[in-house]
Amino acid sequence: MNHFCHLFLARPTVESRVGNLLGDFARGLDTGALPEQVREGLEHHRAVDAFTDAHPEVLACKAHFSGQRRRFAGIALDILFDHYLLRHWDVFGHTDKVSFINELYRDLEAGYELMPPTMEQVARRMIAYDWFHAYQDLETVGGAMDRVASRIRFRHGFGGIIEEIRPLDAELEARFLAFFPELLEFSRSRLAD
């Protein structure tokens, strides 16, 4: 799961949303020093990632990518799943999509002081460039994947991965629609404990 999905699955509080986003920025962080709700959000992020990575539908999605790009399929699918959640907001969303996105941005702004510097920089860019509205367009998602590819410091074949995704879009989307309700149930049951 990528940023939008993790925020969607978080409790609707600043601390939980910061913690659920923190999973991508926690390397080297003393998690014991985090406020309890932020730490719980981080643990939820990690549990969601573990559930996702082991799910048969997600594994089947990864198998469709070429050998050249399969190593990066998980990263691509994380971003693509944000797009699919936005595409199917009428199925999974519980409020107006624009209002929800704006609420996420407000909560992230309110949580800057809880974020490590790198995460705060990304959150500020996320809001300034309105990533979540932009992720509704598949071509924009492809551009986001290429930006991720440009930050990889070794030779790779990740760039242009959207070319492999376009012809697979319907199948990947169907697998997401089979997988995501199970992730929602996992997330809800975990948060209920």
Residues of the chain with pLDDT under 50: none
3-state secondary structure the chain: CCHHHHHHHCCCCHHHHHHHHHCCCCCCCCHHHCCHHHHHHHHHHHHHHHHHHHCHHHHHHHHCCCCCCHHHHHHHHHHHHHHHHHHCHHHHCCCCHHHHHHHHHHHHHHCHHHCCHHHHHHHHHHHHCCHHHHCCCHHHHHHHHHHHHHCCCCCCCCCCCHHHHHHHHHHHHHHHHHHHHHHHHHHHHHHHC
Give the chain's domain count.
Answer: 1
Tokens of 47: 């549990």
pLDDT at residue number 187: 96
Please give the C-alpha separations between residue 178 and each of 8, 60, 72, 106, 175, in angstroms, as whole numbers.
18, 12, 22, 31, 5
Buried b (16+ CB within 10 A) or exposed e, 49-78: bebbeebebbeebbebbeeebeebbbbbbb
pLDDT at residue number 149: 59
CA distance 135 to 143: 10
Within 13 Å, how many C-alpha atoms sit on residue 182's CB side?
Answer: 13
Domain extent at residue 108: 3-192
